[in-house]
Amino acid sequence: MLPRINTFIKSSAFFQLARRPLHPIRTLTSTPPNMVKVMAVLYKGGKAAQEEPRLLGTIENKLGISDWLREQGHEFIVTEDKEGPDSVFQKNLPDTEILITTPFHPGYLTADLIEKSPKLRLCVTAGVGSDHVDLNAANKHKITVAEVSGSNVTSVAEHVVMSILLLVRNFTTGHDQAINGKWDVASIARDAYDLEGKVVGTVGCGRIGYRVLQRLQGFDCKELLWFDYNDIPADAAKSINARRVNSLEELVEQCDVITINCPLHEQTRGLFNKELIGKMKKGSWLVNTARGAIVDADAAAEALKSGHLRGYAGDVWNVQPAPADHPWRSMTNPLGAGNGMVPHYSGTTLDAQKRYADGAFDIIKRYLAGEPQNPANVIVENGDYATKAYGKRDGKA
């Protein structure tokens, strides 16, 4: 049964559900330009990128598209320098036509910066999640925002399952002992549990949320729950044996483990605030690999400190790179554990980098050739949202 459903999910029908274009046929209206300025904001790879050429998402390896762009006569600026008016990013924006940024080291394209970028026509997200662009401002200026949908969703779903397990099983306490010369089984086991018999729920049941529930099938959880304002096909829903709930409150009140898998948009920014976290079960676990700003940083740290949350894990932060004194670096539960944070890397495995580099290249080539984009990749275009995943809008969602 599962292989057939997988094929179905990978074929576009399920993808289109979350990303159905509002107008079936959209073409880029601009004349194919002869020479354009392209800028990529990527993370620094340093020694690792020199030693490992498959680290494509780095300033050193430039998504593997540098030679092609230059052979075609285009200008290609690649930088990690993205903060402040004197950064390479901001200084080059006014005459950039195609901007590529990656969620792992996002060049935050605010409404103000968009106003100062009259030539900008296309923003490409090398990865998934385009919240680093002010999408309403992009619409105002009819800038297309496209991402490589699906490119790293398996990578993230695997990370979610790993994070759930490491929290529930109190892995980090045991690992700390292993590498620090200690051996105190009771102090690990006093807060270690099985995932079997627990209730796990996802906020958002799109590509990642669905895959998380798929991957949890073998753990004999008491129940799997999902909340999403978009539907999923009946046979896809049936194959994961999960129950849909009608509200976020209903979800959080019932779950032992919550995993957040929705985009960051106006309706999800700060969604997990003190009040909502307060409605979660005492001693529950929260995993967020979606976007840091969906969770109120101080509220989560406080809830962990008080023991209301038993654990918090994820790879996304409200500011990236996170400052050295970010509360999520040092927060723990009353037993000094429960922190499963890592830098933002779940969706940038070497396997994922190949997929999102290829996908970004395809988006750019289509634009330069004046061809329409794959609708599944388009977030905003021609002044409107082409996806249903970035919040309910005017009853369209």
Work out which of 228, 256, 296, 381 binds ligand NAD, going by CB under 6 A: 228
3-state secondary structure of 141: coil
The DSSP-derived string for 200-268 is: EEEE--SHHHHHHHHHTGGG--SEEEEE-SS---HHHHHHHT-EE-SSHHHHHHH-SEEEE-S--STTT
Using CB under 6 A as the binding rule, whether residue 245 contacts ligand NAD is answered as no
3-state secondary structure of 50: helix
The DSSP-derived string for 311-369 is: EEEES--SSSSPPTT-HHHH---TTS--EEE--S-TT-SHHHHHHHHHHHHHHHHHHHT
3-state percent breakdown (helix, strand, coil) of the chain, nearest 5: 40, 15, 45
Q: Which of residues 292-321 bind ligand NAD (CB under 6 A)?
A: 315-316
Give the Cβ contact number of residue 1 at 10 Å. Answer: 8
Work out which of 61, 261, 320, 373 binds ligand NAD, going by CB under 6 A: 261
Minimum Å gap between C-beta 212 and ligand NAD is 9
Using CB under 6 A as the binding rule, whether residue 227 contacts ligand NAD is answered as yes
Using CB under 6 A as the binding rule, whether residue 389 contacts ligand NAD is answered as yes
Using CB under 6 A as the binding rule, whether residue 21 contacts ligand NAD is answered as no
Taking alpha carbons only, the member of 272, 265, 261 closest to residue 297 is 272
β-strands 378-381, 144-147: how paired? antiparallel
Q: Residue 48: enclosing H or E segment and its boundaries?
A: helix 46-51
Nearer to ligand NAD, 61 or 155 (CB): 155
Work out which of 206, 292, 338, 340 binds ligand NAD, going by CB under 6 A: 206
| Gyration radius from the chain CA atoms | 21
**Residues in a beta bridge with 257:** 200, 285
Where does 62-129 show beta strands of DSSP type E?
A: 75-79, 98-101, 122-125
Catalytic site positions: 152, 291, 320, 344
How many angstroms separate the Cα of 285 from the Cα of each of 32, 89, 141, 252, 338? 50, 38, 41, 11, 8
Work out which of 102, 239, 259, 268 binds ligand NAD, going by CB under 6 A: 268
Minimum Å gap between C-beta 296 and ligand NAD is 15
Q: Which residues are annotated as a binding site?
A: 128, 152, 207-208, 228, 263-267, 289, 315, 344-347
Backbone angles phi, psi at 264, to 5 degrees: -85, 120
Q: Which residues are annotated as a binding site for NAD(+)?
A: 207-208, 228, 263-267, 289, 315, 344-347
3-state secondary structure of 133: strand
Task: Determine the residue type at 30.
Answer: S
Q: Which of residues 339-378 bind ligand NAD (CB under 6 A)?
A: 344, 346-347
Among the listed ranges 59-67, 71-79, 181-189, 255-263, the one in contact with ligand NAD (CB under 6 A) is 255-263
Taking alpha carbons only, the member of 344, 334, 278 closest to residue 306 is 334
Minimum Å gap between C-beta 314 and ligand NAD is 8
Work out which of 87, 177, 187, 230 binds ligand NAD, going by CB under 6 A: 230
Q: Which of residues 112-171 bind ligand NAD (CB under 6 A)?
A: 127-129, 152-153, 156
Minimum Å gap between C-beta 46 and ligand NAD is 20
Among the listed ranges 5-13, 132-140, 205-213, 296-304, the one in contact with ligand NAD (CB under 6 A) is 205-213
Minimum Å gap between C-beta 70 and ligand NAD is 29
Minimum Å gap between C-beta 290 and ligand NAD is 4
Among the listed ranges 107-115, 169-177, 260-268, 376-384, the one in contact with ligand NAD (CB under 6 A) is 260-268
Using CB under 6 A as the binding rule, whether residue 174 contacts ligand NAD is answered as no
Using CB under 6 A as the binding rule, whether residue 208 contacts ligand NAD is answered as yes
Using CB under 6 A as the binding rule, whether residue 203 contacts ligand NAD is answered as yes
CB 284 within 8 A of CB 257: yes
Nearer to ligand NAD, 59 or 128 (CB): 128
Minimum Å gap between C-beta 115 and ligand NAD is 25
Number of chain residues interacting with ligand NAD (CB under 6 A):
34
Residues binding ligand NAD (CB under 6 A): 18, 127-129, 152-153, 156, 203-209, 227-230, 261-264, 267-268, 289-291, 315-316, 344, 346-347, 389, 391
